Amino acid sequence: MNNLGDSGGPLRHFRVGRRAVLQSLTGVGAAVFASRASASHMHGAAAVATQAEVPETGLAFLDQHAFDTLATLSEQIVPGSRTTQVPEFLDRLLAVESLETQQQFMQSLGAFERAAREAHGTPWKSLTAEQANALLTKISTQEHSDGTRQAFDRIKGAVAETYFQTEAGMKELGWDGSMTFAPPSVCG
């Protein structure tokens, strides 16, 4: 289903069936994904031109707005994520993931964007710390069946798993260099 195997990895939280993704794409997530997907499905010289633009931004999959949203969310969910370059890693990982995983990820970012715009009329990355904290608290305490809560769980899972596999994250868990930990995905 993807280039990294179906068994694990930080983006395993996003793997769902194609039908479920397509049926649930709405709002900002659909618009963000549609603009990115249409660029990736171009043919011929236009596709080559699109690929040539990617290295200039330093981003492999996400556009700048989506990356900034992910970077902001990452730091809010797991402090230290920006220092350890969690958003950059997830961007590169998304570039080699399946279309379904990419769609689900973009839909999840879109859910945060939609929540911020509905509550404050501004993109997530422009929220004050207090506004973001209040929205994260609200979203994280909603029923598990709520779509925005599911988006939170997916983003949180990918960010936390990536962070806690870095040296800084492992040190937070008590690693002192004298032993090795199994990745969090092994723990269940």
Mean pLDDT of 40-69: 62
Left, alpha or beta for 119 (phi > 0: left; psi -120 to 50: alpha)? alpha
Structure-token pair, residue 49: 């031109």
What residue segments make up the domains of the chain, in order of their start?
10-171
pLDDT exceeds cutoff 80 at 22: no
pLDDT at 15 over 50: yes
Q: How confident is the model at residue 178 (pLDDT cuts 50, 70, 90)?
A: confident
Q: List the single range of 20-34, 48-62, 74-88 with lowest mean pLDDT.
A: 20-34
Contact in structure between 157 and 14 (CB atoms under 8 Å): no
Q: What does the pLDDT look like over 81-90, one tens digit per residue?
A: 999 999 999 9
Confidence of residue 154 (pLDDT cuts 50, 70, 90): very high
Mean of pLDDT values over 119-145: 96
pTM assigned to the model: 0.68
The three-point CA angle 157-167-132 to 5° equals 40
Residue 77 near residue 156 (C-beta atoms within 8 A): yes
> Lowest-pLDDT range, 14-18, 50-54, 145-149?
50-54
- Between CA 162 and CA 55 the distance in angstroms is 23
Question: Residue 7 — very low, low, confident or very high, per pLDDT cuts 50/70/90?
Answer: low
Averaged pLDDT, 93-106: 94
Q: Using an 8 Å Cβ cutoff, are 137 and 38 in contact?
A: no
Compute the average pLDDT of residues 125-147.
96
State residue 185's pLDDT score: 67
Please give the DSSP secondary-structure letter assigned to residue 111.
Answer: H
Amino acid (one-letter) located at 41? H
Q: Give the residue among 77, 64, 84, 60 at the shortest CA–CA distance from 154.
A: 77
| Contact assessment for residue 151 and residue 140, using Cβ atoms and an 8 Å cutoff | no
| Model pLDDT, residue 24 | 41
- In terms of pLDDT, which residue wins out, 149 or 184? 149
